[in-house]
Structure 1
Amino acid sequence: MIFFKQSRFTRNRYTWPKFRRGCFMITLIFNTLCAQLVYAQQPNRFTTEQEQTRRVQDELSQKQGKGVPEAVADSLRLPEVVVTERYSDREIRSTAPVQILSGDQLRHLHALQLSDAVKHFSGAAIKDYGGIGGLKTVSVRSLGAHHTAVAYNGVAISDVQTGQVDIGRLSLDNVEQVTLHTGQNDQIFLPATAFASASSLNIRSARPNFSDGKRLDGKASLKGGSFGLFNPSFHINTRLSDRFSASLGSEWMKATGDYPYLLQYGVAGVDSSSMERRENSDVNNLRLEGALFGNFSMDTKAELRAYYYRSERGLPGATIYYNTENFSKQRLWDRTFFVQGNMEHAFSSEWIVQANAKHHRGYLRYLDPAYLGTSGTYEDIFNQHEIYGSVSLLYRAFENLSFSGSSDLSSATMHAERTAFATPTRLTSRSVVATKWVSERTMATAHLLYTHTFESVLQGEAADNRSKLSPYLSLSLKPFAENDFRVRAFYKNSFRLPTFNDLYYPAVGTRDLQPEDAHQLNIGLTYSRKLEGMSKNKDNNENGWQKENHFTATLDAYRNRVNNKIVAYPTGNLHQWAMLNLGKVAITGVDLSVEGSIHLTRATTLLAGANYTYQSALDKSDPSRSTYNHQIIYTPRHSGSGRLVLHLPWLDLAYTLLWSGQRYSNGYNSEEFLMNGYSDHGFSASKALPTRFGEINLQLEALNLLDQNYEIVRNYPMPGRSFRINTSLNF
């Protein structure tokens, strides 16, 4: 674990960069030595992926034959890697709420971007500024987007400038699984950064799979639809040798985004209204991604991934009465490039080590050519540079008990093309120790995370350095051996650091901000049952259609509290604002999720799922203020989603529903700020056609089928009814 003692030179702008570079050189040398040791340890024990899979299955059957508890047998040798387990089983057994969408489920959710899929998670709220190009952030259980970490293939995506990730720019092409963890992941063999946030959204890409003996496969797809959508993509996997494989993917998306909407000039149905068309909502982005995978032996594997994203988009802005054409001219250009790597090695059945590293560069340009100031135009350019390294160690002390330790070090710097800009740098050290107990009827995890930050600037005064210990404890019990009914609970304390905008933005940033402190308490119930399907005979074979049906349900009640909430507050008049620690929020809620499948015939299956969320998120900042005990903005008390998928022999049909109750667009809950609830219905039909070139998939989607006019954020209308056609070839 890495700890640093604060001293005078941590703020010195001349010696501090040398110290930071020295720390990274030490980390790099350590990781290199580990890699050398890993490769030299087992030079001749390589087996192919098929042999590895066969060995895993053999050991699983041997353990199950000896009566090893089910939960332990599912975590063979690498106790943090589930080998054979349905996603619903993971959701039921977990000590903290976890929701999983597989690649097949994503295909039926009418999701073009990651934000479209996340809307179907209970407890998750998307702040959507409308259209394809609008900003989209996710908040889980009303804690705010800053408390939700987003990880891509195990490594966190960071934005030290704003502290929140725009998930609207993340594609679902070649995504194998999207997982939302509320509280903490039950896996303890993770980088220390994965323990830091109140919740985490994880995106996992599909790895090459050549089990059928092919050396080359891939996918090419084309999506087109309303409002000028044109979205081609391709992905190709190739086996380079018995040890190495590679993948390469690209996606281009272009859309005008000029959808029509109804502008109300007062109360709907009473005052006048007009049909308008959304302006400056176009988007043009390109994504390139490549990955190299290495399986050096049964015990050693590695992955190296490069990612590039380029985007230009219009910022449509809020609608303004009688000025819908000329009010929004703002443009945004951003470029993201990162290289990340992972290596994992098992020294024995007890000791496993992994290392992660990442180098990230980001570019953001904002232009307002219709700025109302004296200059007539406003432009900002920001650059971010981050280096990240992590080493984790897992020790399996006993069959049921594991321990882990992880240490991360990251350095992030932001540059701006402004005079007298502070040019801040933050070095963050995180170290964690964790333990996990697993048996057939009990699972318990605990960890203690230590975070220390070092702030420095090139100009002006740096913010204070911060350090904090963050505990976590979770437990899941199965009281009855014959029923898969479980009781679970967790407590977590986490915090989020002030962003660079909070601290250093000219005329607004405040250097002495305290971190936001979040406390989470959750108590839940989970239930799963397997049911026999209808059949003509007792055998599950071609002549009968007896298949296993299943039903799962989870119910969680929670209490969250946020202290030192960072808010923008007027300091002298409405033209002078500053970031201050003024907020306290108390959140009480319930999440309910049910899911099931029914095999109607041998070739017909019905899948159904529904989520419901109740949230009371009250402002507890100051009893003397008018907003005290009022619901915080854009938080409905009632919301939910539903989905139905019917698999027929000749066609797949899917229906989705998103709905939200009333909410307020202001912290003061008066009638003038009340926003109506809404529902969004989607329908699709898809067909797979086998050909000699590969499998062709055709899908027709109808979105917002009832053409409802609604807003998630006030004055940012969402698209009405639209259509998409998706065509893909798997070869």
Structure 2
Amino acid sequence: MPEVRGKLWGAILALWMAPLIAVDISGRVVDYATGLGVSGAIVSVDNRATTTDFDGRFTLTNIPEGEQIIRVEHVAYEPFAEHIVFRGAETSGINISLRPRVYSSDPVISFARRNGRTRTLDSPEEIIALISSLPGVSVVQGDGEVGVSIRGSRPKDVLVVVDGVQQARNARGFTDIASLPLSRIASIEVLTDGIPAEYASIATGGVLIIETRRDEPDGAEISHRQASFASSTTTGAMTFRPSRAVKLSARSSFSSAKSDFPYQAGDTTAIRNNNRSDKRSIALSADYTANNVTAWLSVSYYTLGEGMPGDIYHPLPTARRKGDGLETAARAAFELPLKFASEIKASVGRAERHFYIPRPFVFVPVDAEHIIDKYSAQTTVSRAFGDFTGKLGVRWDEEGYAVENNLAPSRNIPREPRRIASTWWQVDYHRVFGEATTVRAFSSARWDGNDELGFSRSITAEGSIAQGIGKLSIALAGGYSEAHHFPEFADLYWLRDAFAEGNPNLAPETAQRQHIRFSAGYRADWATVDIDCDFFARDFDSVIIWKRDFDGLYRPRNFSREETRGREDNIRLRLFEMFELSWSNTVLSAIHRTPERAIDSLWIPFRAPYEQKLSARFSHLGFSAGIDGRMLGKRYTLLANTKWAEPYEIWDAFAEYRRPMGAIEPSLRLDAQNIFDEEYEILTNYPMPGRSWAITIKLEYKL
């Protein structure tokens, strides 16, 4: 009996001593917008707290080993909370970016982080569904590639940025989000106004900024997703640190889909034959963090082979799009003497698409390769001067476009280079009066020079004031911007060159934007409520439109003026760190202003007069579930407003369970899309799938 009692007390003592295994941690807290250190921020872990020094650095000792929540608070910034696994005697190099409470017109949409955890995207379908659930954001998909629209903008006017690197546009002039090799997403930020100078002239329709996790612990994961219509995706990833300063990561993915589904055609049920698609991707990255230098290098490669089924009246059972793409990106941030901060970015990319359409609906066969390459380099220097922060930047881009026509070599287009040199300045002002009033403002100017189209200028001015009253805060923000956007290759050289030709003499489009936004928030220990209303106006002059001439060929020209007026409302409610409810409503009025009386004052095609989104989430003890609804109004599909796509309402749902078991964490996720089996179209004559299901099984291992 004494022996048993001794073993029992030994086990109890071991369990009691286990949490006492401690580590020391250190890191730095910086401003998300400027990259400069934030002084006076309170950093806490497991009831231990410290304050950052003048340069934003902190150290905490005797932190229990294992998974802990690190929290950061500052009167002028949004609170930060994140789960981090601490192992070993010391953990250093923890970099935390804080976002100002009121900086620009659009806060971060932290859809990916639920209770501090990061959501992993396991298939292109999940990427599309997640982005389309963001307020004011919709996707445009029909025959293969998928573009993003923000508040009714054209996909080619939206810039997509991943980890600070501007993503290349395809032959149609927009970024195909379905081909991005994304996995662990930390946050997605939607900028509709107050766009920073480095994006101003190339993001006249808004910016979609995606940040992936750079601080994943060592380990590996594998997952498989099986969905309706013979769709499946398998992914694998691995992360390890050969040293404290270096982290290496690798991720690969393979997805395959038949995607044939039934749809209603009048009184009969037909089969939508989408032709089989296969996508493969691999991404390698290396991170280096030591002293005052942070560097990152990534290489990604993908291949795709997908069907181009055409619309339901002109099926193309053998049409095919094949291609591959390679992109290398590098980014480094470091401190210079005299408290200057610098950042350097560079990227090289090349994408090739082979289009094979033996009998398209225009009865002109296509068999051609379209090749796009892009090289870019950028450097910025910033410094804080009291309440002001100044930033200077320069950038150089070279793009090339070529077409190899296998049916008519005489229509080949040799590589057409385009070079753009840019420079900009931006001044930020940030002042906290007392402990309750925050004023932020910035102004910027950018100049772009093109070797063929000349020079253009973009200017932006944005300001906001926020007042705290106990747990309540109210804010008012507004701004004006003007940008000149050079034509894309899609405007200069048309994709289907057999029945269209480009116009290299197009003038830049001019975009003028203004908005005013009111927001209010309430924060308590048990609830967080945010309400905002944004009134906006967007005008485009010299709009490029493709029109058919008397010889039957389509050609682009600077055609008219577009006027858009709208309002976006958002309500977000969070209770007990478990429940989350959000609602958004975007109302648009978008019309043409043109000398052509036949279409003057008519609605611009594909601009829905309203779009509402409702989302509900619950998460507790490893279980999470949610439902998302999207309601979209009637959209005209022709300039003459004689045809349209009907309104629709779509509801999706999911449930997920994660069960940590030491270093291993399995999870199971169930998804249901279009649960009420709604018949709808995003583009006319391109029906979307009805009710569908998906199941994802994942296994994660953390060292």
Question: In the alignment, is residue 421 of structure 1 matched against residue 406 of structure 2?
Answer: no
Write the mapping of 1:598-617 to structure 2, written as runs, cut at 5 A: 598-599=575-576, 605-617=578-590
Is contact 2:664–2:700 with CA below 8 Å preserved after alignment? Answer: yes
Indicate how the Cα distance of structure 1 residues 669 and 372 shifts in structure 2: closer, same or farther if over 3 A, else same.
Answer: closer
More helix by share: 1
Structure 2 counterpart of 1:570: 548
1:228-307 equivalence runs, <5 A: 228-264=230-266, 273-297=267-291, 299-307=292-300
Equivalence for 1:51 = 26
Q: Distance in 2 between matches of 1:593 and 1:144?
A: 22
- Runs of 5+ unmatched residues, structure 2: 1-22, 31-36, 43-49, 55-72, 81-93, 433-437
SS at match of 1:501: helix
Alignment coverage as a number of residue pairs: 615
Give the equivalent residue in structure 1 for 2:41.
Answer: 60
Q: Specify the alignment match of 1:655 in structure 2.
A: 627
Q: 1:150·1:200 contact (CA, 8 Å) conserved in 2?
A: yes
Of 676, 680, 692, the residue aligned with 1:722 is 692
The 3 A distance-change label for structure 1 pair 413 and 83 is same
What does the per-residue CA deviation read over 1:638-697, in whole Å, with 9 as the maximum and x for residues that have no partner?
A: 111111112244732211111112221222234xx1332111111122111223451111
2:213 counterpart letter in structure 1 = A
Aligned partner of 1:207 in structure 2 is 214
Alpha-carbon spacing, 1:181–1:57, altered in 2? closer, same or farther (3 Å): closer
| Contact in 2 for aligned 1:160/1:499 (Cα 8 Å) | no
- Give the Cα–Cα distance (whole angstroms) in 2 for the partners of residues 63 and 561 of structure 1: 47
Opposite residue 568 of structure 2, the aligned amino acid is D
Structure 1 residue 165: deviation in Å?
1.1
Partner of 1:197: 203
What's the CA shift string for 1:196-226, capped at 9, x where partnerless? 412111222211334xxxxx31321111110
| CA-to-aligned-CA distance 1:583-602 (integer Å, 9 cap, x gap) | 21100000111111112xxx
Q: CA deviation at 1:115?
A: 2.5
For residue 368 of structure 2, what is the aligned residue in structure 1?
380
Deviations 1:529-551 (A, max 9, x none): 0134xxxxxxxxxxxxxxx3101
Instruction: Output one character per residue of 1:468-491: Cα deviation in whole Å (capped at 9) or x when no partner.
Output: 111000000125654410000011
Match of 2:523 in 1: 530
Q: Counterpart in 2 of 1:540?
A: none
Mapping 1:208-223, distance limit 5 Å: 208-210=215-217, 216-223=218-225
One-letter amino acid matched to 1:570: R
Corresponding residue SS for 1:138: strand
Provide the C-alpha distance between the structure 1 equivalents of 2:78 and 2:358, rounded to a whole number of angstroms.
62
Q: Deviations over 1:441-497 (max 9, x none)?
A: 100011000001114xxxxxxxxx221111000000125654410000011112322
Which of these residues, 450, 468, 471, is aligned with residue 459 of structure 2?
471
How far has the Cα of 1:498 moved from its partner?
Answer: 1.4
Alpha-carbon distance in 2 for matches of 1:168, 1:49: 41
% identity of equivalent residues: 16
Q: Distance in 2 between matches of 1:685 and 1:155?
A: 33
Mapped to 1, the partners of 2:400 and 2:245 lie a distance apart of 37
Whether the 8 Å contact between 1:143 and 1:562 is mirrored in structure 2 is: no
CA offset at residue 142 of structure 1?
2.6
Q: Distance in 1 between matches of 2:163 and 2:337?
A: 25
Distance in 1, matches of 2:674 and 2:74, equals: 47
Q: Secondary structure at the match of 2:490?
A: helix
Q: Deviations over 1:342-382 (max 9, x none)?
A: 111112573101111111111111001335899x8420102
Instruction: Please tell me whether the aligned partners of residues 29 and 52 of structure 2 are also in contact (alpha carbons under 8 angstroms).
Output: no
Residue 63 of structure 1 and its aligned partner are, at CA, apart by: 6.3
Instruction: Name the CA distance, whole Å, in 1 between partners of 2:166 and 2:125.
Output: 22
1:159 Cα deviation from its structure 2 partner: 2.4
Q: Which residue of 1 aligns with 2:390?
A: 403
Q: CA RMSD in A?
A: 2.9
CA distance in 2, matches of 1:679, 1:480: 38
Aligned partners of 1:379 and 1:355: how far apart in 2? Answer: 40
Q: Could you tell me which of 306, 314, 326 is aligned with 2:307?
A: 314
Residue 195 (structure 1) shift: 6.2
Task: Find the counterpart in structure 1 of residue 128 from structure 2.
Answer: 115
Residue of structure 1 equivalent to 2:75: 70
1:240–1:584 distance in 2 versus 1, CA, 3 Å: same
Residue of structure 1 aligned with 2:488, choices 499, 505, 508: 499
CA distance in 2, matches of 1:108, 1:659: 26
Structure 1 pair 521–676 and aligned structure 2 pair: CA distance change class (3 A): same
Distance between the aligned counterparts of 2:490 and 2:422, measured in 1?
A: 22
User: After superposition, where does 1:506-585 map in structure 2 within 5 Å?
Assistant: 507-532=500-525, 548-573=526-551, 575-585=552-562
**Mean alpha-carbon deviation: is it higher for 358-367 or for 339-348?**
339-348
C-alpha distance in 1 between matches for 2:680 and 2:423: 45
Alpha-carbon separation, structure 1, partners of 2:362 and 2:467: 67
Where do 5+ consecutive residues of structure 1 fail to align? Answer: 1-47, 76-80, 211-215, 265-272, 456-464, 533-547
TM-score, normalised to structure 1, is 0.79
C-alpha distance in 2, partners of 1:176/1:429? Answer: 32
Structure with a larger share of its residues in strand: 2
Q: Which amino acid aligns with 2:614?
A: G
Aligned mate of 1:619, from 592, 595, 600: 592
Amino acid at match of 1:678: Y
2:24 and 2:420 map into 1 onto residues whose CA distance is 38
Question: Quick one: which of 95, 100, 103 aligns to 1:94?
Answer: 103
The partner residue of 1:333 within 309, 322, 334 is 322
591 and 613 in structure 1: CA distance in 2 versus 1, 3 angstrom threshold: same
1:690–1:696 Cα contact (<8 Å) kept: yes
Distance between the aligned counterparts of 1:348 and 1:549, measured in 2? 44
Q: Give the structure, 1 or 2, with the largest relative contact order (CA under 8 Å, sep 6 or more).
A: 1
Look up the SS of the partner of 1:52 in the other structure: strand
Under a length normalisation based on structure 2, what TM-score does the superposition of the two structures give? 0.82
| Deviation readout 1:259-309 (Å, 9 max, x if unpaired) | 111113xxxxxxxx2111111342100110010111131x11100110111
Query: In 1, distance between residues paired with 2:328 and 2:419?
Result: 19
Q: Which residue of 2 aligns with 1:364?
A: 353
- Write out per-residue CA displacement over residues 58-112 of structure 1, whole angstroms, 9 at most, x where no aligned residue: 952376899x98227989xxxxx99465xxx75x513222442342458599983
Task: Show the counterpart of 2:602.
Answer: 630
Query: What letter corresponds to residue 631 of structure 1 in structure 2?
Result: W
Query: Given the alignment, which residue of 441, 444, 452 partners 2:441?
Result: 444
Instruction: Encode CA deviations 1:157-216: one digit per residue, 9 max, x unaligned.
Output: 122743211112235422222221112356x7xxx3466412111222211334xxxxx3
- Quote the residue 1:157 is aligned against: 167
Q: Who is 1:710 aligned against?
A: 680
What CA distance in whole angstroms lies between the structure 2 residues aligned with 1:674 and 1:417?
A: 36
Report if aligned partners of 1:510, 1:579 keep a CA contact under 8 Å in 2.
yes
CA shift for structure 1 position 153? 1.2
Does the 8 Å CA contact 1:502/1:508 hold for their aligned counterparts?
Answer: no
| Higher deviation after alignment, 95-104 or 444-453 | 95-104
With over 3 angstroms needed to count, the CA separation of the structure-2 counterparts of 1:172 and 1:644, relative to structure 1, is: farther
Q: Which one of the candidate residues 432, 443, 455 is aligned to 2:424?
A: 432
Query: Aligned partners of 2:647, 2:78: CA distance in 1, in Å?
Result: 47
Shift of the 516–160 alpha-carbon distance from structure 1 to 2, 3 Å rule, reads farther
In structure 2, how many angstroms separate the alpha carbons of the residues matched to 1:447 and 1:565? Answer: 24
